[in-house]
Amino acid sequence: MKNLLKTLLLAAAVLLPGAAAYAHVGSADVYFEGNAGPYPMFVTVRMPEVVPGVAKIEVRSASPDVSNVKVLLLRLTGPGSKLPSTADVAIRSKEDPNFFVSELWFMEYGALQAQLEVEGSKGEGKLSVPIASFPRQQKAMAPWMRLMGAFVLVGLTFGLVPITAGIAREGTVPAEAAPDAKNKRNARIVTALTVLAAVWTVYSARGLWREEDAVYARNVDLLKPPRVEASLQDGNRLMLRLATPLQLPVAGKGRETVPVKLEEVIPDHGYLMHLFLVGNPQADKVWHLHADRLQNGAFARTLPSMPAGDYRIFADIVDKNGFPWTLVGNVKLPNVAGPVLVGDDSQWAGAPLAAPIAESKVAQLPDGARMVWERADGPLRSNVPTSFKFRVENADGSPAGDLEPYMGMAAHMIVLRRDAGVFAHVHTNGSVPMAALDLARESSADGMDMSQSMAHQHHAALPASFSVPYGVPSAGDYRIFIQVRRSGQVQTAAFDVRAQ
């Protein structure tokens, strides 16, 4: 009975719009470019808003020789990563033979992966796409469904009353005889008992329903971007602490959670924490720093010289299971005097985000060079998988020849919506964290394409043009920062755009 009710409750969960969540803020869908053996693929995972829920996995092959794509879902790490379910055969589009779509049920929270098995004229290939699965909102039940549920529950339960009473009154009475006094008395007792049982059943079903609802609401809350509290010590040391401990709920296990320890986060492209401090509310200054972990799970970072002001904090970490969290917060700083930026730390300052927004496609770089956003004509559309293409050119317009990997990658893109409801830190292979990608490669080492591994990118001469696969999740004004390294120096370009 309990399981049946649970199934009904889950099946009936319909909802209220709520704030979207974490790992990247407000940007849950996965955009990923990678090779399945010989086949370059652009994969988009459209995440369900509720879990359990159905995700749509869209696969676009860059080459026309792919004939078949299968997709299966499994955990990113641990025993579950070795126990694949049956693969779903993706449906090939009739209009576009290079486009395949698969729909998969997401039942669990946490770090998962979609494994693609691709067949074509060049043989087989595999590709693993890390996915962060979490419920984003709780939906209110539609009134008609609420009414129907109540009717079924109350109607069926109390429907037992006349049935049991009838059995008690007439079950033992011969066909043509009438029930005697004893039969009638039994019937009254049975009626009373059945009514009591029916009331108890409906009452406990209501309790079970409410508990299930409360647990789900709590899970949505636990997986919202965690708040970080910031304080300044010794004039320039920024201390970061979680407002409440991180917990990953376990789907379908009531109030069970797994604690996520900051002591156990894993490095993501070389650092445990990518710390972004963004001028608030103008987005006219950005620092991309890397904080050190202290023994008690707190993080700290000695700040460079910074002007007084209000700053938004976005701090990206990846837990040991490959689940990415973006910690968010605010800090008011006085004028800070600190050391000069070195190594992979970087900074940008520019014009405030204008209102109304002034779209830009060209950004000046420090030495007279510029970065050009090769944007298609027309507005930027939200939720459309897009290759954000950029080109770095010298002052004379020739392609820059001095691009080097910055933390192992050609470029880092930081996407910020004006109201900070969206923050994403993405790379040339997409929105998945590099640390999760490394875990996916470890967990399925057979036949995986390693050519994009960071190790292979070091010391390579990089082309002046590159692209970042991503889709902005919602309409609004965005500032997009692109960070590259040229001749040993990190340079940042900013572009403004309104998405529809």
SS3 call for 141 = coil
Minimal distance, residue 415 CB to Cu ion, in Å: 12
Only one of the segments 123-131, 392-400, 408-416, 446-454 lies at the binding site for Cu ion (rule: CB under 5 A); that segment is 408-416
Minimal distance, residue 407 CB to Cu ion, in Å: 6
Nearer Cβ to Cu ion (182/458): 458
**How far is residue 22's CA from residue 248's CA, in Å, rounded to a whole number?**
12
Minimal distance, residue 42 CB to Cu ion, in Å: 20
Nearer Cβ to Cu ion (312/412): 412
**How far is residue 59's CA from residue 41's CA, in Å, rounded to a whole number?**
7
Nearer Cβ to Cu ion (60/412): 412
Instruction: Number of residues interacting with Cu ion: please give it, by CB under 5 A.
Output: 1
**What character string, x for contact with Cu ion (CB under 5 A) and - otherwise, covers 289-328?**
----------------------------------------
Of residues 19 through 58, those in contact with Cu ion by CB under 5 A are none
Nearer Cβ to Cu ion (73/434): 434
Q: Is beta strand 412-417 parallel, antiparallel or unpaired with respect to 274-279?
A: unpaired
Contact between 60 and Cu ion per CB under 5 A: no
Choose among 230, 350, 353, 346: nearest CA to 287. 346
Nearer Cβ to Cu ion (412/479): 412
Q: What does each C-alpha distance from 331 to 231, 243, 245, 277, 314 come to in angstroms? A: 7, 14, 20, 9, 11
Nearer Cβ to Cu ion (69/424): 424
Q: Which residue has the tokens 């930027």?
A: 380
Choose among 381, 374, 435: nearest CA to 408. 435
Only one of the segments 228-236, 275-283, 289-297, 406-414 lies at the binding site for Cu ion (rule: CB under 5 A); that segment is 406-414
Only one of the segments 192-200, 220-228, 314-322, 412-420 lies at the binding site for Cu ion (rule: CB under 5 A); that segment is 412-420
Minimal distance, residue 369 CB to Cu ion, in Å: 21
Minimal distance, residue 35 CB to Cu ion, in Å: 21
**What character string, x for contact with Cu ion (CB under 5 A) and - otherwise, covers 364-403?**
----------------------------------------
Nearer Cβ to Cu ion (100/299): 299
Is residue 301 within 8 A of residue 275, CB to CB? The reply is yes
**How far is residue 440's CA from residue 318's CA, in Å, rounded to a whole number?**
13
Nearer Cβ to Cu ion (136/412): 412
**How far is residue 105's CA from residue 125's CA, in Å, rounded to a whole number?**
23
Nearer Cβ to Cu ion (412/485): 412
Residue partners of 167: CB distance under 8 A and separation at least 6: 190
Only one of the segments 234-242, 252-260, 314-322, 407-415 lies at the binding site for Cu ion (rule: CB under 5 A); that segment is 407-415
Minimal distance, residue 414 CB to Cu ion, in Å: 8
Residue 392, classified by CB atoms within 10 Å of its CB into exposed (0-12), middle (13-18) or buried (19+), is: buried
Residue partners of 53: CB distance under 8 A and separation at least 6: 105, 106, 135
Structure tokens at 48: 């369900």
Minimal distance, residue 288 CB to Cu ion, in Å: 8
**How far is residue 4's CA from residue 437's CA, in Å, rounded to a whole number?**
38
Structure tokens at 214: 């409360």
CA-based R_g, the chain, Å: 28
The residue number with the shortest CB distance to Cu ion is 412
**How far is residue 179's CA from residue 128's CA, in Å, rounded to a whole number?**
72
Nearer Cβ to Cu ion (60/312): 312
Choose among 414, 309, 289, 417: nearest CA to 353. 417
Is residue 275 within 8 A of residue 315, CB to CB? The reply is yes
Q: Which of 136, 169, 412, 485 binds Cu ion (CB under 5 A)?
A: 412
Helices 181-222 & 2-12 angle (0-180, nearest 10): 50
In the DSSP assignment, the letter for residue 321 is T
Nearer Cβ to Cu ion (270/307): 270
Only one of the segments 139-147, 301-309, 331-339, 410-418 lies at the binding site for Cu ion (rule: CB under 5 A); that segment is 410-418
Only one of the segments 8-16, 323-331, 404-412, 487-495 lies at the binding site for Cu ion (rule: CB under 5 A); that segment is 404-412
Minimal distance, residue 313 CB to Cu ion, in Å: 16
- Residues that bind Cu ion in the complex, under the rule CB under 5 A: 412
